[in-house]
Amino acid sequence: MYRVLAINPGSTSTKFAVYFGDECVLRKTIRHPLEQLLRFKSVVDQFDLRKGLIIEVLQEEGIEVDSIKYIIGRGGLTYPLESGVYRVNNRMIEHLREGVLGHHASNLGPMLADYIALQIPGAKAFMADPVVTDELEDVARFAGHPKFQRRSIFHALNQKATARIHAQKVGKSYESLNLIIAHLGGGISVGAHKNGRVIDVNNALDGEGSFSPERSGTLPVGQLIDICFSGKYSKEQIRRMVVGEGGFVAYLGTNDAQKVEKRADHGDTEAAIVQEALFYQVAKMIGEMAVVLEGKIDGILLTGGLAFNPELEKYIRTKCGFIAEIYSYPGEDELEALAMNGLRVARGEIEVKEYKK
């Protein structure tokens, strides 16, 4: 029986799971208090803390670590890659440490997988569908000025996993479908999936598309320039306005979408209009991707934590129901998605790719 350890580092948590075949035998979420993380200058500096905690929990739970031969981590900000499963190599680790496209908790995923695999005879480390998965058509890369280029940074792992789940549900292959998939979480990404490739998607990390619980999304450029040169804010403060302290955090003082939903349900008019504005912007993004796919769409899929909100689904159905049938897959299970990719490798169902950037 193939045994897989899946690792998903988040900004304030480390999630991991052990699968024996298709069965999940252990699933853990370690929360990292903010005061603990503030001791570190960078995300990469948290490596020793996180790997020590993973190993400690595995031992406490009686997991026979040496029996695990496939360790797969959530992919981070390497150079852009096609979708797929990649073997972790030294060059990848080097680029994640350097932060060639930025520093993010997901950079630790392949690093942690690699370290643990090196402790186990015969074990191998992988990453799957990293956030920099890039399948954009050339025309989608133009930003409007040669000094700028649109980048593909999005929730590739969950979007691809949701697409495959849906394809199985409808009895077709992912590669035969045209889908619009909206990942609705702390960040929001809406992708146009054409025959198994995401040919256009917003950069969900640093400033495209709808605002989200903690990100500002697309901002009016002229106003942003004025703020940047006003002398009132540092570069870091402005960056936090865009990622971390935007969206619900800026408007309502919380990144908890469930709290916002409850406030709106209980008559808080400010919460209600801000929530509706988020819904509105997501609907517009879905419309944009409908144009990308020339109206030939087999389904609109809603996923991520915000998809649990029945008002959001209702709103999207009202605004976008004329485009295609809407399907809801609320929540995300990136650990299961990682584990299933690991099992596909173990069973020889997919070809492992090499990172050569």
Contact 102, 205 (CB under 8 A): yes
Contact 257, 211 (CB under 8 A): no
Q: What is the CATH number of domain 3-135+338-354?
A: 3.30.420.40
pLDDT at 346: 95
Task: Kindly report the pTM of this predicted structure.
Answer: 0.90
pLDDT at 102: 86
CA distance linking residue 139 with residue 241, whole number of Å: 29
pLDDT at 207: 84
Domain boundaries of the chain, sorted by first residue: 3-135+338-354, 157-330
What is the chain's pLDDT, residue by residue, as a tens digit (357 residues)?
Answer: 899 999 999 877 899 999 999 999 999 999 888 788 878 888 899 999 999 999 999 999 999 999 999 999 999 999 999 999 999 999 999 999 999 988 888 999 999 999 999 999 999 999 999 999 999 999 999 999 999 999 999 999 999 999 999 999 999 999 999 999 999 998 999 999 999 999 999 999 888 999 999 999 999 999 999 999 999 999 999 999 998 899 999 999 999 999 999 999 999 999 999 999 999 999 999 999 999 999 999 999 999 999 999 999 999 999 999 999 999 999 888 999 999 999 999 999 999 999 997
Instruction: Give the length of the chain.
Output: 357
Q: What is the CATH number of domain 157-330?
A: 3.30.420.40
